[in-house]
Chains A and B, each alone.
Chain A
Amino acid sequence: MQQVEIGAAERQRVTARLADVLPVGALLTEPRALKPYESDGLTAIREVPWLVALPESESQVRAVLAICREHGVPVVPRGAGTGLSGGARPRADGVLLGLARMNRILEIDLDNCVARVEPGVRNLAISQAAGEHGLYYAPDPSSQIACSIGGNVAENAGGVHCLKYGLTVHNVVGLRVLTIEGETLELGGKGLDAPGYDLLALMTGSEGMLGVVTEVTVRLLPVPPEKRVVLAAFGEVAAAAAAVGAIIAEGLIPAGLEMMDRLAIQAAEAFVQAGYPRGAAAILLCELDGVGAEVDAALAQVRRILIGQGAFSIRVAVDAAEQAKLWLGRKAAFPAVGRLAPDYYCMDGTIPRARLAEVLAHITALEAEFGLAVANVFHAGDGNLHPLILYDANRPGELERAEAMGARILAQCVAVGGTVTGEHGVGLEKLDSMCGQFSPAELDQMHRVKHAFDPAGLLNPGKAVPTLVRCAELGGMHVHGGVLPFANLPRF
């Protein structure tokens, strides 16, 4: 969407009307106050918004949307601003609609095992509130201490436990959504389904482009009484990848199954001393949870598989403290890698697990081609790969080189039957890569869905789905449809 030119008089009118419907201090207009909102977690893409509105209730959200609709002002919704794809990057001609102040837990319903919360409630706060009843909210993106549930819904956020417990879409049972046209949609509820088209699933992961979430009902699960954490080290990445396939082929669904490569291991060790074997080409971190008898049986099975697949070192954490230590290296992997270079660029492709060794070899070749190092952190259980490209933004051209390399990695993920984003979203960052994953007709279908909810194109315009013009200008990147490599691969 083109930037909208707004005259000074119109600007004053809109500002005054917004100030009227918001509490004191909930409309930010001064440059210094606006500045912190110029980006989300993807700080390379920035734009200071015209205004920031921080409503405290659904009726205030409705009023803000109505004013923006009447004046044709673009609205960019934002949760906690921890997103990694620029999905909440504001516009200089628009209102940033921050929902962080709507942060009340409305209800913990123990009989129905659900929590009803406002969108600004932090992900971890739900589990903390449910914890005294032995319940928790399963999806745990790594930003869970800060990220909001509304943002989780917008991005269909994942985490390290998705293979067993699913993504946000599998754990949300109800939403209240305001459309830009002023309608209130009540999707789902405390039951498990509702008649007709699954608007609840459609809204989840729609990156704030179809509606603004004002209330979320999530299902709560009993906290697993026991867990075991195993660390296995391998001399070759391919062996570690094979071990992942073997664990799943034997019928085990671990709660978490993570892989790190040599550079990521070394960075983590240097940073937090988790006790990872430094000589390893790859490590696997496997968490099993459930009741005691179940996890012990699974643990024995996993050990046998790991030995069979050639692990040269296997360590089972003896207590909760050691479990936390083993996880610490993984959870600190991103900041640890951040110490190796001034900047890193985090990718988020997903691939069929069987293609892992091949994709990692491709990334190694790209490292040589682009002259940039990559550390790989991998949600191995569900095939979600996070290559971290190391670069220095102060060196001319290096950011551009990192971005070009990232686009090549994502194109390779698509070529082997995967996707350009597993859990971070498209936002602004991966618009070009979307041209490689989807045909013009597919993108056009998505635009028509957007139009069905937002005919004027005012809600988070320009994100998630590239225009056909943009893709045409890139030219020739569309990978599937029998045009480029692996044309005979069944892939969607």
Chain B
Amino acid sequence: MPPDADIADYLQDAVAGAAARGGALCISGSGSKAFLAAGHATGPQAAGGQLLSTTEHTGIIDYRPEELVLTARAGTSLAHIEATLGAAGQRLPFEPPRFRGGGTLGGAVACGLSGPGRPWFGALRDAVLGVELINGLGERLRFGGQVMKNVAGYDLARLQAGAFGTLGLLLSVSLKVLPRPQSERTLVFELDPATAVARCRAWARQPYPLTGACHADGVLRVRLAGAPAAVDEAAAALGGDGAAAPGYWDALRDHALDWFRSGGCLWRLSVPPAADPAGMDCLINWAGAERWWSAPSGDDATARMLTRVAQAGGHARRFDATYGIQQPTGPAATYVRRLKAAFDPARVLNPHLSPADAY
């Protein structure tokens, strides 16, 4: 087990010092998701700040399984957290990716990515109960708490999820955790994408204990989890054409499936789950709501896909170095810029990933 260490004072000094001299900081965790966070390569927002790593700010501060709450320092590895939870029969409900086996708690929250169970167990942001952070003024602030229900003040804790460290350097995070299901089974169906999406949407209206539904390369895999009797009952009702390889859901979660090695430019599409998949050629996750697309190069397929996603009422995001800088367009962009200024007026924290200046 890695040693616990509290370097919050050092991190606070680093932020306050950078703010005082007009410097900038590039915050990093283990680097497992650095490929999403290169940000602006050129211009005034390009990286150029001093690197500040949180990986030595480690340790589980508080974990009582019967409270379903875990609090840990941001540099604590996901592996350590998951092992600790596992020993108590619990798990992270949002199943964050562990690219190449790495990842810290702070990095997971900053990137805000959720795994295969998201439609049923909630997103990472849904599990965030509280954070301690350092804002761009070098102040140590706590928002939210360690309790499930808390509406005291604005929810500035959940706001950190997916903000890529541009609103605060995360020191520690409290999460809601859940018991591991008693049993789990994967069903396999050979279906075309349109039929697979139609099935998933019909099943979503039924009280089946679904916890995963992913279609790729003509095969829909469905994960059932819960009490053994409930899983048996649902498996009998749903049928299927065979069994899945063990470890499928972990491989999907960590992008370790062969599908993700196709080499094209990878896009993540977030769409209304029933959006027509015909001709999209995607890996369809989250019972339709999350789709992954490997863009062919050299033609206008990307423009066509973006139009299609927008028409469906969804969003498309390139899953590459620019992922971390993508923000809403339209009127919301104004408020995004002002929020950045409200937390970090001097642009100390990850300026290369931050929205442009306000006002």
Contacts and interface: CB of A to CB of B under 8 A. Distances in A.
A195 B140 CA distance: 27
Given A166-B122, A194-B328, A419-B147, A442 B141 contact: yes
B238 interface: no
Nearest to B327: A196
Interface stretch (B30-38, B78-86, B172-180): B172-180
B10 interface: no
Contacts of A98: none
Contact of B155 (A114, A192, A201, A438): A201
Interface stretch (A31-39, A333-341, A379-387): A379-387
B196 interface: no
Interface residues of A, number: 101
Given A166-B126, A202-B159, A465-B154, A222 B270 contact: no
A441 B342 CA distance: 12
Contacts of B65: 249
Interface stretch (B15-23, B47-55, B96-104, B224-232): B224-232
A122 interface: no
Nearest to B65: A249
A156 interface: yes
Given A112-B272, A179-B335, A492-B131, A195 B229 contact: no
B331 A446 contact: no
Given A190-B313, A252-B179, A437-B152, A445 B331 contact: no
Contacts of A448: 342-343
A445 B69 contact: no
A383 to B, nearest CB: 5
A421 to B, nearest CB: 5
B205 A110 contact: yes
A89 interface: no
B151 A425 contact: yes
Given A191-B272, A294-B209, A451 B151 contact: no
A186 B332 contact: yes
A239 interface: no
B336 A430 contact: no
Given A222-B205, A246-B66, A291-B234, A163 B150 contact: no
Contact of A452 (B61, B172, B232, B342): B342
A8 interface: no
B284 interface: no
Interface size class of B (residues with CB under 8 A): 35 or more
A321 interface: no
A439 B205 contact: no
Contact of A490 (B61, B144, B154, B234): B61
A167 interface: yes
Contact of A290 (B182, B228, B230): B230
Contacts, number: 296
Contact of A196 (B180, B286, B328): B328
B207 A195 contact: no
Contact of A170 (B122, B270, B286): B122
B33 to A, nearest CB: 16
Contacts of A296: 229
A211 B337 CA distance: 17
A248 interface: yes
Nearest to B339: A452
B4 to A, nearest CB: 12
A199 B163 CA distance: 11
B64 A222 contact: no
Contacts of B335: 179, 183, 185, 199, 452-453
B314 A353 contact: no
B165 interface: no
Interface in A152-195: 155-156, 158, 162-163, 166-167, 169-170, 179, 183-187, 189-195
Contacts of B146: 352, 417, 490-492
Nearest to B273: A112
A422 B125 contact: no
A492 to B, nearest CB: 4
A273 B268 CA distance: 56
Nearest to B203: A222
A126 to B, nearest CB: 16
Interface in A273-293: 290-293
Given A170-B122, A191-B315, A205-B151, A445 B343 contact: yes
A113 interface: yes
Nearest to B69: A352
B62 interface: yes
Interface string B118-151: 1100110110011110010001111111111111
A95 B74 CA distance: 45
A290 B228 CA distance: 13
A354 to B, nearest CB: 6
Given A186-B332, A197-B162, 13 more contacts: A109-B274, A163-B148, A190-B273, A196-B327, A196-B355, A197-B336, A225-B207, A293-B230, A350-B145, A351-B147, A445-B139, A452-B339, A492-B71
Interface of B: 61-62, 64-69, 71, 89-90, 112, 118-119, 122-123, 125-126, 129-132, 135, 139-159, 161-163, 167, 172, 174, 178-180, 182, 201, 204-207, 209, 226-230, 232-234, 270-274, 286, 289-290, 313-315, 317, 326-328, 330-332, 334-336, 338-339, 341-343, 355, 358
10 contacts: A113-B205, A183-B335, A191-B289, A195-B326, A198-B161, A199-B336, A290-B226, A419-B149, A422-B147, A492-B71
